[in-house]
Structure 1
Amino acid sequence: MLSYFCVWMLNRSLLVANAGDCRAVLCRRGKAIEMSRDHKPSCNREKIRIEALGGYVDDGYLNGQLNVARAIGDWHMEGMKACGGLGPLTAEPEVMTMDLTDEDEFLIMGCDGIWDVFLSQNAVDFARRKLQEHNDPAACCKELVDEAIKRKSGDNLSVVVVCFNSRPPPVLTTPRPRVQRSISAEGLRELQSFLDSLAD
């Protein structure tokens, strides 16, 4: 079984096509935007498609055998490819597009071993910190893999980070909302009265 995805950029348009459990995540001003969906058999959309084509999902596995619903290969496995070429396992990719903006900083593309131990936002936060430190996408990839190993990932660990600027991601400052705390003299008296009643 081989999961795959393809990323294509033309001017400011980003297109991601994926099949399987690889994932592409865009960082837009520190926020993670998923540019692909993991094609797990238990995902409601995939489960409906699988069952409509004569397959089934058993304990999260396609026909009790595969933990992905889309991939290249594994046609030899029983029940994966029905007559006429249609079966519950498909190699047809899902396609997502996005118009890039000046706030888009980088794209993380990783296989399932990364996403088994990182949420998309966690990976963006981690990569962003590392890029702010050294602004080296290759070193950032190694650090993501090393961190996934520390987190006990038990699957394939491949990752690519593509930066859209030559500068490191900017430090984001979020102003704290100003909260005024006050209590009126009457409110203070009522509170004191209540506390006094508890002491009695």
Structure 2
Amino acid sequence: MQGWRVDMEDAHVVEISMSSDPPFKNWSFYAVFDGHAGSKAAHHSAEHLLKTLLATKEFSQKLNETGGVLSSKTLKLLEEGIKSGFLTMDEKMKEKSETGKSGTTAICAIVTPTHIVLANLGDSRAILSRKGKEPFGTEDHKPYLPKERTRIVNAGGSVMIQRVNGSLAVSRAFGDFEYKADPELDPTKQLISPEPDVYTLKRDSEKDEFLLLACDGVYDVMNNDELCEFVQSRLRVTDDLPNVANQVLDACLSKGSRDNMTIILVCFEAAPKVDENCVQQEEAWRKGIMDTITKELTVSIRSRHLE
């Protein structure tokens, strides 16, 4: 959703099958990219990130050799491959000079039959809703966080009004090459780093309800708990997932979000199911609203007629 912004700078990727070749045939890839200073970096990332990951040594050789069985050793390989792919992606983006001054966050999920692997860069976020547990959420990369601030200061920058050099609101991103201009520093030590945080979660078919990936236009007006509760309530009324996602965006817009908004909803076995009582309550609620609107309009029309 473009929202109130002049331009739409977000991009996203949904690949139900990461590759036609095993072991990645049964793996899915989802990603949201929240661009800034233009949409070029976000669209470039959406087009090239998965291909870049699959081309890394860890993915193309070592993980292939394991047959996709994710032991502690192969999970480590997967994490290394993701980090390597992100750094390679940023380097190639810089070499091609196609993205100008734009940059983008990235929140990615690789869903395998046994694990969910999340990679976060910036302040887009992934949330896993789990039955009977607190939702799991990735941590945003904000300049004021101690670890991020230390790197920024060590690179010769500053954090003012909670922004890098008083300007950029995220401390890790693809692109933003004016903040990665010190030739003496490793890419991960620059003012803005392209290194993601990687989280590995073991799937639980009895507790995992759904996975959400969204940009900060959503989280600016809904926290993790509120968002999960809203989605749970909608899933009890409809199993139309695009409809549920659109209802989330409409709710965020009504709550005052003024940013572009993108959300991906992935449901698992334990997701709430449509409940007939909830459907009836929803229908009664909607009918009540429509009756009230009709009544108010009728009164208004009569008043104008009498004038």
Give me the TM-score of the superposition, normalised by structure 2.
Answer: 0.52
Which runs of structure 2 are paired with 1:109-188 in the superposition (5 Å)? 109-165=213-269, 168-169=272-273
For residue 15 of structure 1, what is the aligned residue in structure 2?
A: 117
Q: CA deviation at 1:55?
A: 1.9
Amino acid at match of 2:202: D
For residue 191 of structure 2, what is the aligned residue in structure 1?
A: 88
Q: How many residues align?
A: 169
Deviations 1:150-175 (A, max 9, x none): 0010212000110012863488xxxx
Give the number of the structure whose residues are more often helix, by fraction: 2
1:41–1:68 CA contact under 8 A, matched in 2: yes
For residue 72 of structure 2, what is the aligned residue in structure 1?
A: none
1:57–1:63 CA contact under 8 A, matched in 2: yes
For residue 64 of structure 1, what is the aligned residue in structure 2?
A: 166
Q: Distance in 2 between matches of 1:38 and 1:116?
A: 12
For residue 55 of structure 1, what is the aligned residue in structure 2?
A: 157
Judged with a 3 Å threshold, the aligned counterparts in structure 2 of structure 1 residues 137 and 160 are, in CA distance, closer, same or farther, namely same
Select between 85-94 and 122-131 the one with higher mean Cα deviation: 85-94
Judged with a 3 Å threshold, the aligned counterparts in structure 2 of structure 1 residues 81 and 36 are, in CA distance, closer, same or farther, namely farther
Q: CA deviation at 1:105?
A: 0.5
The DSSP-based 3-state class of the residue aligned with 2:230 is: helix
1:30–1:124 CA contact under 8 A, matched in 2: no
The DSSP-based 3-state class of the residue aligned with 1:27 is: strand
For residue 43 of structure 1, what is the aligned residue in structure 2?
A: 145
Judged with a 3 Å threshold, the aligned counterparts in structure 2 of structure 1 residues 142 and 57 are, in CA distance, closer, same or farther, namely same
Q: Which runs of 5+ in 1 are unaligned?
A: 172-200
Give me the TM-score of the superposition, normalised by structure 1.
Answer: 0.78
Q: Distance in 2 between matches of 1:75 and 1:32?
A: 37
Which structure carries more relative contact order (alpha carbon 8 Å, separation 6+)?
1
1:25–1:36 CA contact under 8 A, matched in 2: yes
Q: Distance in 2 between matches of 1:30 and 1:126?
A: 16
Q: Which runs of 5+ in 2 are unaligned?
A: 1-102, 276-307
Q: Distance in 2 between matches of 1:98 and 1:167?
A: 17
The DSSP-based 3-state class of the residue aligned with 2:236 is: helix
The DSSP-based 3-state class of the residue aligned with 1:15 is: strand
Amino acid at match of 1:108: L
Judged with a 3 Å threshold, the aligned counterparts in structure 2 of structure 1 residues 167 and 10 are, in CA distance, closer, same or farther, namely closer
Q: Distance in 1 between matches of 2:251 and 2:197?
A: 29
Q: CA deviation at 1:6?
A: 1.5
For residue 194 of structure 1, what is the aligned residue in structure 2?
A: none
Q: Distance in 2 between matches of 1:170 and 1:48?
A: 48
Select between 116-125 and 160-169 the one with higher mean Cα deviation: 160-169
The DSSP-based 3-state class of the residue aligned with 2:119 is: strand
- CA RMSD of superposed structures (Å): 1.9
Deviations 1:103-160 (A, max 9, x none): 1100111000000000100000000000111022211110110000000102120001
Structure (1 or 2) with the larger CA radius of gyration: 1
Judged with a 3 Å threshold, the aligned counterparts in structure 2 of structure 1 residues 166 and 33 are, in CA distance, closer, same or farther, namely closer
Q: Distance in 2 between matches of 1:169 and 1:159?
A: 20
For residue 177 of structure 2, what is the aligned residue in structure 1?
A: 75
Select between 93-102 and 27-36 the one with higher mean Cα deviation: 27-36
Q: CA deviation at 1:61?
A: 0.5
Percent identity at matched positions?
A: 31
